[in-house]
Amino acid sequence: EASSGDILAYLETVREEKPTLPRATFYQLTWLYRYLLEEGEILVNPMTKIELLTEPSSPKRPVFTEDEVRRILNVPNDSLEGIRDRAIVELFYSAGLRMSELTGLDVDDVDFHNREIFVRHGKGGKERIVPVGEKALVSLERYMTIRERFIKPGGDADALFLNAGGRRIKALSVQEMIRARKAEALVFSPGGSHALRRSMASHLLAHGAPIYLIQRMLGHEHLETTEKYARACGSDLRDIHAMSHPRAKEVGA
């Protein structure tokens, strides 16, 4: 049975070989020893005595707080465009999609029954299935009730998100929409759609999700890429207590 000293020595060795790896390794070991403790395989969790090793500084990547995301989402707008835009922002935050992945979605890519999104145009041409939270599904369902009013002859009838001309919505329009919602919500932090993606990953980590599952959701080929997102999470993850998304359980927010 490994002691806290054994694990710390191991993490130090890993850092010497690759400076960016210890944080991801720390998260994995935290979950491993928490599981062993719950299963009765060990009596003491050695990770509770270990602090996360510091790493070389890197440029800060924009991440919204949970309150900022909530304010961006809750901008009041019951117009057709407002209902569509709320669904777009909810989906960015819930599923952690890239811009090209969201604008490339078709209606058939949404599985409401299984609460999943099929990403067929992922980075590098890779496909994946991503779970979607209840709040995002409710917004999508509301959008689907009025979506036909965006459909125009000669338009992109299969596309999930349509513009006023009935065509598949463009990335530039989405970014402009997010900027407008941020301004109305008095959110002055930098970042747009990709900051929502990073925020989703960071908030999931803060609420206890294992980093390897976030890696799969984001469609990262290498764990080190996901680990960069973890740097935005300032919470102490030694007391991980549950896997949850900040908007998966909220009611009436």
- 18 is written with which tokens? 């690759």
Which of 84, 98, 168, 247 is flagged as catalytic? 98
Whole-angstrom CA distances from 192 to 66, 99, 119, 173, 248 are: 15, 10, 20, 12, 22
Catalytic residue among 168, 181, 229, 245: 229
Active site (annotated) includes residue 35 = no
C-beta atoms surrounding 25 within 10 Å: 19
- ∠134-119-176 over CA atoms, to 5°? 75
Establish whether 143 is a catalytic residue. no
Q: Let me know if 113 is a catalytic residue.
A: no
Q: Are 110 and 160 in contact (CB under 8 A)?
A: yes
State yes or no: is 15 an active-site residue: no
The residue from 197, 203, 207, 245 that is catalytic is 197
State yes or no: is 197 an active-site residue: yes
**Identified catalytic residue from 61, 70, 194, 228:** 194
Q: Among 15, 220, 231, 245, which one carries the catalytic annotation?
A: 220
Could you tell me how many helices (H) and strands (E) the chain has, helices first?
10, 3
Parallel, antiparallel, or unpaired: how do β-strands 110-111 and 128-131 relate?
unpaired
Is residue 71 within 8 Å of 30, Cβ to Cβ?
Answer: no
3-state SS class at 117? strand
Q: Is 245 a catalytic residue?
A: no
Within 13 Å and on the Cβ side, how many CA atoms surround 108?
Answer: 3
Task: Give catalytic residues, as residue numbers.
Answer: 98, 123, 194, 197, 220, 229
